[in-house]
Chains A and B, each alone.
Chain A
């Protein structure tokens, strides 16, 4: 950040059984990848409610990564299929909200795929760095209005409504 380049903040939801272990493996085998992903471990990708991703964007994340076991290999049998469907559904909604595709991604990584995880994070970080900051809360800021306009109303009301008391 010190040299002024934009470093994206990515929140990663990783399942305990595969993708978190993939990240662990990437670390213990000293694979280099960007430090931009903040990892939150969940028991299963199926645990990730769309609320989690929305909350991350609401709080200013530049990207959200959802990672789980490969389809068919879920520790809880088929909950990652639910993650897959929820991802697809949320993606559909976020597209309508004009969020760029690259900012919300899904990755399947087994416990043995440290490299795959590292490569995906590197790719995603790069893509988001090109897009620039998201800063969703800035969407709510009213451009060109502040307390001043409101205060102006107060004064106008006072002026317009003052009639001599009988």
Chain B
């Protein structure tokens, strides 16, 4: 056995982009391999959960965990890796704040199953089979993980040492984080490793006065190349989003959508966006304000919480029948 540190990487409810982002540090991946033995990385190499289970607790030096917690298996892996890792990093937007998979929190499990397995135009499921936790076959009982109603972030599931934001994190920031971990120059546990300023600070566009009479969607206009996108009526999330990407999107005329998550000190990303954007609407007439908002922002949750719904104050949409008296709800649960 070498005396190198042990590194594990895992994915839960994510797209795989974070795994590619790790490789996007290019030849520096060799430096990572010099510093660590990669003992577990299901996306890239063979490895067994059993091996991790048999490790002593805190036997892993570092675990980079990407993806949110969508089902019971992912929760099991999150708990296992928490137990085995000295340092657990929520890697990327999904683990940090739920990201796109977290937008499914606008629906319930039943609604998701109904669409995915039945109503979706490409679904071919004449028998209407839905995933079951247990299926009895002649050879015995088969098991599938339990699919949660609400996607959780990694931080809502287990204690997380550090958060690395981004969808996916930029290679330079990944390298910064790995360097920080290797050299021990780390912020206090529980903090986000990243800049403490906003995308606007990195954005070269010219800012003057913000007064918005009409919100425009990206397909409706060809934006001016110099002027701040928000001043042109395009909802740009740069004002609330943590810097770190180099303002890649606004530089090429596409508004920031907030993938780097809330800036330091921002509790609820969407609330910060709403407060900022609403205050620059150029009208004092309640009806006109309503019209500007409703016509210009047809999907407020997808606009303000695209990456952070699971991590926001409310975490999900209100479930039907939530306000019913407790006794009635108990009956529903037992009937399931």
A143-B336, A158-B53 known; A136 vs B318 contact (CB < 8 Å): yes
Q: Within 8 Å of chain B (Cβ to Cβ): is A3? A: no
Provide the B282-319 mask, 1 if CB < 8 A to any CB of A, else 0.
Answer: 01101001100110010111001000000011111111
Q: Within 8 Å of chain B (Cβ to Cβ): is A166? A: no
Q: In the complex, what residue of chain B is closest to A137 when comparing beta carbons? A: B315
- On whether the beta carbons of A51 and B317 are closer than 8 Å, the reply is no
- On whether the beta carbons of A86 and B333 are closer than 8 Å, the reply is no
- On whether the beta carbons of A88 and B275 are closer than 8 Å, the reply is no
- On whether the beta carbons of A88 and B286 are closer than 8 Å, the reply is yes
Q: What CA separation (Å) do A135 and B50 show in the bound complex?
A: 41
Q: What CA separation (Å) do A50 and B150 show in the bound complex?
A: 23
* Total number of B residues with any Cβ neighbor in A under 8 Å: 56
Give the Cβ gap from A9 to chain B, nearest Cβ, in Å: 13
CB neighbours of A58 from chain B (8 A): 313-314
Provide the A118-151 mask, 1 if CB < 8 A to any CB of B, else 0.
Answer: 0000000000000111111011101111000110
Q: Within 8 Å of chain A (Cβ to Cβ): is B31? A: no
Q: What CA separation (Å) do A53 and B316 show in the bound complex?
A: 15
Q: Within 8 Å of chain A (Cβ to Cβ): is B58? A: no
Within 8 A of A (CB), among B316-336: 316-320, 322-325, 332-333, 336
CB neighbours of B148 from chain A (8 A): 142, 145
Q: Within 8 Å of chain B (Cβ to Cβ): is A31? A: no
- On whether the beta carbons of A89 and B286 are closer than 8 Å, the reply is no
- Of the candidate stretches A12-20, A33-41, A90-98, A109-117, the one touching chain B is A90-98
A157-B50, A161-B53 known; A142 vs B289 contact (CB < 8 Å): no
- On whether the beta carbons of B274 and A90 are closer than 8 Å, the reply is yes
A71-B284, A153-B145 known; A54 vs B278 contact (CB < 8 Å): no
- On whether the beta carbons of A97 and B301 are closer than 8 Å, the reply is yes
CB neighbours of A50 from chain B (8 A): 268, 270-271, 274-275
Give the Cβ gap from B310 to chain A, nearest Cβ, in Å: 10
CB neighbours of B314 from chain A (8 A): 54, 57-58, 97, 136, 139
- On whether the beta carbons of B270 and A93 are closer than 8 Å, the reply is yes
Q: What CA separation (Å) do A142 and B149 show in the bound complex?
A: 6
- On whether the beta carbons of B333 and A85 are closer than 8 Å, the reply is no
Q: What CA separation (Å) do A156 and B142 show in the bound complex?
A: 11
- On whether the beta carbons of B278 and A85 are closer than 8 Å, the reply is yes
Give the Cβ gap from A155 to chain B, nearest Cβ, in Å: 11
Q: Within 8 Å of chain B (Cβ to Cβ): is A101? A: no
Most chain-A CB neighbours within 10 Å: which of B268, B294, B300, B324? B300
Q: Within 8 Å of chain B (Cβ to Cβ): is A82? A: yes
- On whether the beta carbons of A139 and B324 are closer than 8 Å, the reply is no
Q: Within 8 Å of chain A (Cβ to Cβ): is B205? A: no
Within 8 A of B (CB), among A49-64: 49-51, 54-55, 57-58
A98-B317, A132-B325 known; A92 vs B49 contact (CB < 8 Å): no
- On whether the beta carbons of B268 and A140 are closer than 8 Å, the reply is no
- On whether the beta carbons of B301 and A96 are closer than 8 Å, the reply is yes
Q: What CA separation (Å) do A161 and B313 show in the bound complex?
A: 40
Q: Within 8 Å of chain A (Cβ to Cβ): is B146? A: yes
Give the Cβ gap from A149 to chain B, nearest Cβ, in Å: 5
Q: Within 8 Å of chain A (Cβ to Cβ): is B143? A: yes
Q: Within 8 Å of chain B (Cβ to Cβ): is A43? A: no
Q: In the complex, what residue of chain B is closest to A156 when comparing beta carbons? A: B143
Q: What CA separation (Å) do A124 and B236 show in the bound complex?
A: 36
Q: Within 8 Å of chain A (Cβ to Cβ): is B159? A: no
Q: Within 8 Å of chain B (Cβ to Cβ): is A1? A: no
- On whether the beta carbons of A142 and B48 are closer than 8 Å, the reply is no
Contact among B76, B284, B290, B336 for A157, CB-based, below 8 A: B76
- On whether the beta carbons of B270 and A150 are closer than 8 Å, the reply is no
Q: Within 8 Å of chain A (Cβ to Cβ): is B225? A: no
A86-B278, A149-B72 known; A97 vs B322 contact (CB < 8 Å): no
Q: What CA separation (Å) do A57 and B281 show in the bound complex?
A: 26
A51-B267, A140-B315 known; A88 vs B299 contact (CB < 8 Å): no
Q: What CA separation (Å) do A57 and B319 show in the bound complex?
A: 14
- On whether the beta carbons of B268 and A51 are closer than 8 Å, the reply is yes
Q: What CA separation (Å) do A89 and B106 show in the bound complex?
A: 18
A interface list, Cβ under 8 A from B: 49-51, 54-55, 57-58, 71, 78, 81-82, 84-86, 88-90, 92-93, 96-99, 131-136, 138-140, 142-145, 149-150, 152-154, 156-158, 161
Given A85-B278, A98-B319, 9 more A-B residue pairs with CB atoms under 8 Å apart are A49-B275, A51-B272, A89-B297, A92-B297, A93-B301, A133-B323, A143-B333, A149-B146, A157-B76
The 10 closest A-B pairs by CB, nearest first: A89-B278, A54-B313, A161-B50, A50-B271, A132-B323, A93-B300, A98-B318, A85-B278, A51-B271, A58-B313
